[in-house]
Amino acid sequence: MKICVFGAGAIGGHVAGRLAKGGADVSLVARGAHLAAIQGKGLEVRAPDGTFVTHPRASADPAALGVQDAVIVTVKAPSLPSVAAGIAPLLGPDTAVAFVMNGIPWWYFDKHGGPLDGRRLPQVDPGGALRDAVGIERTIGGVVYSACTVVEPGVVNVASTTNRVLIGEIDGSTSPRLSALRQALDAGGMASPDIDDIRTEVWAKLMGNLGGGPLCLLTRRTIADSYRDPVVREAAILMTDEAAAIATAFGRPQKLSGRQRIERSLTTQHKPSILQDLELGRPMEVEALFRLPLELARMAGVATPTLDLTVALATQAALAAGLYAPPE
Q: How far apart are CA 228 and CA 247, in angstroms?
A: 27
Residue 317 near residue 217, CB atoms below 8 Å? yes
For the question of residue 205 being annotated catalytic, the response is yes
Residues 6+ apart with CB under 8 A from 320: none
- CA neighbours within 13 Å on the CB side: how many for 33? 5
- Based on DSSP, count helices (H) and strands (E) in the chain, helices before strands: 13, 11
Residue 106 near residue 124, CB atoms below 8 Å? yes
Helix, strand, coil content of the chain in percent (nearest 5): 45, 20, 35
From the candidates 21, 205, 255, 271, which is the catalytic residue?
Answer: 205
Residue 6 near residue 73, CB atoms below 8 Å? yes
Measured CA angle at 270 (ends 267, 271), to 5 deg: 130
Strand, coil or helix: what is 93? strand
End-to-end Cα spacing for the chain:
40
Q: Which residues are catalytic?
A: 205
